[in-house]
Structure 1
Amino acid sequence: MTTESPLWFTSSHSENGGACVEVAANLAGSLGVVPVRDSKHPQGPALVLPAASFASFVTGLRAGGV
Structure 2
Amino acid sequence: MPTPLDPAPAERIDPDDDAAVERWATRLGVDAQAVRNTIVAVGGDSEAVALRLRSARGAAD
Query: TM-score normalised by the shorter chain: which range applies?
Result: 0.3 to 0.5
- Normalized against structure 2, the TM-score is what? 0.34
**Higher RCO (C-alpha 8 Å, min separation 6):** 2
Q: Answer 1 or 2: which has greater helix percent.
A: 2
Q: Answer 1 or 2: which has greater strand percent.
A: 1
- Normalized against structure 1, the TM-score is what? 0.32
